[in-house]
Amino acid sequence: MPVATDFDEALLDRVLAGERISQEDARALYTLPLNELGAIADARRNLATPDRERIVTYIIDRNINYTNVCNVYCKFCAFYRTEKDDDHYVLSLDQLDAKLDELTAIGGIQILLQGGHHPKLDLDWYLTMLRHIREKYPHINIHGFSPPEFCHFAEVFGMPVREVLQKFIEAGLGSVPGGGGEILVDRVRDRIAPLKCKSDQWLGVMREAHALGLRSSATMMFGHVETIDDRIEHLQRLRDLQDETGGFTAFICWTFQPEHTKLRAEPVGSSEYLRMQALSRIFLNNIENVQSSWVTQGPRIGQIALKYGANDFGSVMMEENVVSSAGTSFRLQKEDIERLIRQAGYEPHRRNNWYQLVD
């Protein structure tokens, strides 16, 4: 594999042998030409998923935001509303059923259930919603809430995060999405979301969830006020926790979408997205699956990302409200996803949340 003439060949040999890299190594790899970094990430993808080298997975699910009321006012978010806004809402069970019926009709098996930090919804409201979904739609996995939401619940309900998780599991929660991670460096978090949970709290929720048997995804939202070193520190913290718990099923990264937000930052392009996804695949040697983010980058870049370390194409995602509120809106049907995967030279297969093939 040809690389830049001044690049450390010994590092390349170690990477291609599947060895773990350091933060310093990651900084060196980041400087490589994009196509070379992509080729290395593709090789690492094949090492991570040797039995699925020609397979790219996806899932049929739906994002459901049960409320848009939120009291943390993140500067990068265009979705949240206050109770004073005319367009604020909290979904009723009937509205929830309508969404779940539509999902069931197309063969959906999971919902991504998240909302804002509503200051007035109590524990019984959440448990009622979870039990209702589990009892009426037992075929649907509830991939629900995020670490910041659980920190919010603990404060509002007046109980430890672990107890909240236990009650939610008993009511039907099946797994936890990695939302709210942004960048796990408090200096950055204090600038973009000063009222949201800190890095240690985010990691602490995931540690508790994994200890209770829940699996979760891990994420990174970059391209705003952070540095390259901040991104690598974020990856280091994820890798360290995965060493400890083994609870992360997948990693997903995406770029900050600026439209209609209060955060003043020059957005980065698709090449930077591909670079960071490739670097993440190489660095996170203990997280098997990397998901392409076509929702923010568009179908074509999502397809190209399959050659930059990704082995999963995400979700049909019948509904998406948060990213689209910031001005980015892409939609794909099952047939579109399978066509894009085949065009890239892979076999499309449906999966569940635990990356077991279901077709």
- φ and ψ at residue 212, rounded to 5 degrees: -90, 5
Quickly tell me which residue has 């009709």 as its tokens.
Answer: 105
* Prediction pTM value: 0.91
Q: List the structure tokens of 352.
A: 């569940």
- pLDDT on residue 324: 43
Say what angle helices 147-157 and 199-211 make with each other, to 10 degrees: 90
pLDDT digit string (tens) for 283-342?
Answer: 999 999 999 999 888 999 999 999 999 999 999 877 645 444 444 455 688 999 999 999
Three-state DSSP at 222 gives strand
**Domain ranges in the chain?**
21-350
DSSP string covering 70-87 = -SS--TT-SS-B-TTSTT
- φ and ψ at residue 185, rounded to 5 degrees: -135, 120
Position 358 pLDDT exceeds 50 = yes
Q: List the structure tokens of 17.
A: 């042998």
Position 263 pLDDT exceeds 80 = no
pLDDT digit string (tens) for 165-218?
Answer: 999 999 999 999 999 999 999 999 999 888 889 999 999 999 999 999 999 999
- φ and ψ at residue 72, rounded to 5 degrees: -110, -10
Which of the listed CATH numbers 3.30.70.890, 3.20.20.120, 3.20.20.70, 3.40.50.970 matches domain 21-350?
A: 3.20.20.70
pLDDT digit string (tens) for 86-134?
Answer: 667 889 999 999 999 999 999 999 999 998 787 888 999 999 999 999 9
Q: 131 and 125 in contact (C-beta within 8 Å)?
A: no
